[in-house]
Amino acid sequence: MTSDTGTAVETVRGLVYGPGGKRLDVYRPAAARPAGTVLLWHGIGPDERDVLEPLARTAAARGLLVLVPDWASDAADRGRSQLLESLAFVRAGAAGLGGDGESLVLAGWSAGAGAALGVALRPEVAGGWRPAAVVGVAGRYDLPAITTGEGSLADVADGLDPAVPVHLVHGGRDTVVDPRCSRELAEALRTAGRPVTLQEPDTDHAGVIMTAYDPASDRCLPTTAEPALRAGQLVAEVLAAAAGS
């Protein structure tokens, strides 16, 4: 485990969160108690917590405690147990990191978005617990959520209630996950009378988390492209608003 402190954000890297030895990184304000707590799940690429560092650091600079775990979609259960172990770890340990483990925002990008919403719709997977809010970034909701095995869009259509605000952000130029996926979920939630917001910044699937896809490494890497920076700032604002800060 290593730690470093910048001008605004302190980073603690490599906390082991579960029996499988998976690790998470912590981002928090360096000189103040966090105003809210966010558990942020990455997408389908195994163990890509580093991909979310630009967004997590930006959100922490807004006063949030942000925790980003690795999880492995290539595990036998597609990463379900690791996602839920990371949630249990944060609920139990966030107070010791300066945050609130019970009243936290559950957020995710790409496959992580559907996993986050699934917990709110089917809280029995977390012992009946629900987050304070869900933030889904560039998610697809018609496929089975990794946390529940059920499609969130179908769950909403069947009358399941997330019972918390849902905030969606989706790049308008996303060619990996069609923005229509978030629009359909937003419409379904509105039709059911549930609180939901949707914003579509002018960027793509990688840009919405302040990265750009690099074919050579087959990874999303930090970028300084202005549309991506603006989109990441927007997502950080949504996270902060969802956390009530």
Q: What is the pTM of this model?
A: 0.95
- Would you say 86 and 17 are in contact if contact means Cβ atoms under 8 Å apart? yes
CA dist list (Å): 89 to 15, 23, 92, 240: 10, 11, 5, 21
Each of the 245 residues of the chain gets a pLDDT tens digit; together they read 434 434 499 999 999 999 989 999 999 999 889 999 999 999 999 999 999 999 999 999 999 999 999 999 999 999 999 999 999 999 999 999 999 989 999 999 999 999 999 999 999 999 999 999 999 999 999 999 999 999 999 999 999 999 999 999 999 999 999 999 999 999 999 999 999 999 999 999 999 999 999 999 999 999 999 999 999 999 999 999 999 95
User: Domains, the chain, ranges and CATH?
Assistant: 2-242 (3.40.50.1820)
